[in-house]
């Protein structure tokens, strides 16, 4: 049994920022991460470019130097890896938390590798692990992907990209340029408003010229081995299909949070209950940090505007440890 001052769940950028704050104050801490370091960033598309500039992705005032104003996925991985290793942070990777229970003064944390006792717990697990499903027949076929890595496997194939967000648009354009026959299935009537401003004209022009076929106000109703059926404003259509890339967003692990005792808003947004000044949840001593604070509003918090959570938590913890 390991006794800690602070146990941090999640080794993304915000979890790392929390660890840096703990180390500066001399607290006994550990990060537990069920995947790789910055696991969500690792699972981003290989050629992804951030919307944010590099200085807005910095943590603890450690400079992030990139080749261009907007860094790439690989540059971000290198930055957070160097921050973690050069500061010799206590991080346990590929270890999953199974249960969190609270006694009067401490938390008992059980993982698949060890048991811990900690005075405080910070959950900074993000939201990238659980995709929003289409819930249609055939979604379990091996041709359906909820994550996109690179375009090469889809060359000379009929590809349906579901969604109109940044990730969907990036995938559609990259696959088209690598020789795939791309159709976009979009529930709304237009490409998403938050699509990167330097990318949006590109996708609109490709749709207008017919290089990419876009079905707006449309939804997939069935997926079969060689085709998909979609409902459109003009009625039902069946189109040839080899792969479906359903980039319909992701959500936090609400069951894990509920099991830890965290309460949520009842407005359909499932925003967890926390103090916006201290980031402490309704469970005393249990803090939330990063994008997980937005519940289903996964666009509300991201690295550049949630970096401050680490300092806010540390300042409150300093009064209680």
Residue 265 has pLDDT above 90, yes or no: yes
Residue 62 CB burial class (10 angstroms; 0-12, 13-18, ≥19): middle
* Alpha-carbon span 52 to 304, nearest angstrom: 7
Are residues 184 and 290 both part of a single domain? no
Q: Token digits for 132?
A: 């929003």
Are residues 257 and 208 both part of a single domain? no
pLDDT at 45: 94
Q: Summarize pLDDT for 195-250 with one digit per residue, the tens.
A: 999 999 999 999 999 999 999 999 999 999 999 999 998 899 999 999 999 999 99
* Alpha-carbon span 305 to 48, nearest angstrom: 20
pLDDT at 128: 85
Instruction: Among 87-91, 177-181, 194-198, name the one with the lowest average pLDDT.
Output: 194-198
Domain final residue pick, 246, 273, 301: 246
| Residue 130, phi then psi, degrees to nearest 5 | -120, 105
pLDDT at 2: 79
Are residues 116 and 18 both part of a single domain? yes
Are residues 236 and 278 both part of a single domain? no
DSSP label at 133? Answer: P
Are residues 149 and 120 both part of a single domain? no
Residue 104 has pLDDT above 90, yes or no: no
pLDDT at 38: 97
- The strand ranges marked E within 235-276 are 235-240, 243-246, 250-251
Residue 256 has pLDDT above 90, yes or no: yes
Are residues 25 and 93 both part of a single domain? yes
Are residues 230 and 265 both part of a single domain? no
Range of the domain at 174: 133-246
Domain final residue pick, 190, 221, 246: 246
Q: Summarize pLDDT for 269-283 with one digit per residue, the tens.
A: 999 999 999 999 999
Higher-pLDDT residue of 183, 128? 183
Domain final residue pick, 246, 273, 305: 246
Are residues 48 and 193 both part of a single domain? no
pTM value is 0.92
Are residues 108 and 256 both part of a single domain? yes
pLDDT at 158: 98
Are residues 229 and 176 both part of a single domain? yes
pLDDT at 321: 77
Are residues 117 and 9 both part of a single domain? yes
Higher-pLDDT residue of 234, 92? 92
Number of H helices, E strands in the chain: 8, 17
Q: Summarize pLDDT for 29-76 with one digit per residue, the tens.
A: 999 999 999 999 999 999 999 989 999 999 999 999 999 999 999 999
pLDDT at 127: 84
pLDDT > 70: percent of the chain: 100
Counting the structural domains of the chain, the total is 2
* Alpha-carbon span 299 to 251, nearest angstrom: 11
CATH number reported for the structural domain that contains residue 281 in this entry: 3.50.50.60
């Amino acid at each position: 049994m390991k006794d800690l001052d602070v146990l941090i769940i999640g080794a993304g950028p915000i979890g790392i920022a929390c660890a840096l704050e703990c180390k500066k104050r001399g607290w006994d801490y550990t990060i537990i991460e069920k995947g790789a370091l910055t696991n969500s960033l690792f699972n981003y598309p290989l050629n992804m470019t951030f919307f944010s500039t590099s200085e807005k992705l910095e943590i603890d005032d450690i400079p992030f130097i990139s080749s261009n104003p907007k860094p790439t996925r690989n540059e971000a991985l290198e930055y957070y890896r160097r921050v973690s290793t050069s500061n010799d942070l206590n991080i346990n990777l590929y270890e999953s938390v199974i249960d969190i229970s609270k006694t009067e003064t401490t938390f008992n944390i059980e993982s698949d590798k060890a048991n811990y006792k900690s005075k405080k717990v910070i959950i900074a697990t993000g939201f990238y692990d659980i995709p929003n499903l289409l819930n249609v027949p055939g979604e379990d076929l091996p041709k359906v992907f909820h994550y996109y890595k690179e375009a090469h496997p889809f060359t000379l194939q009929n590809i349906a990209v579901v969604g109109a967000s940044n990730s969907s648009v990036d995938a559609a354009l990259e696959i088209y340029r690598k020789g795939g026959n791309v159709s976009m299935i979009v529930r709304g009537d237009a490409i998403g408003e938050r699509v990167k401003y330097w990318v949006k004209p590109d996708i609109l022009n490709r749709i207008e010229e017919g290089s990419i076929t876009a079905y707006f106000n449309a939804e997939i109703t069935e997926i079969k081995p060689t085709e998909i059926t979609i409902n459109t404003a003009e009625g039902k259509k069946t189109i040839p299909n080899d792969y479906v890339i359903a980039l319909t967003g992701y959500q936090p692990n609400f069951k894990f949070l509920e099991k830890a005792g965290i309460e949520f808003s009842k407005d359909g947004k499932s925003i967890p209950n926390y103090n916006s000044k201290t980031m402490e949840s309704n469970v005393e001593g249990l803090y939330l940090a990063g994008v997980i604070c937005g519940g289903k509003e996964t666009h509300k918090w991201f690295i550049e505007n949630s970096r401050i959570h680490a300092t806010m938590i540390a300042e409150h913890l300093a009064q209680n440890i």
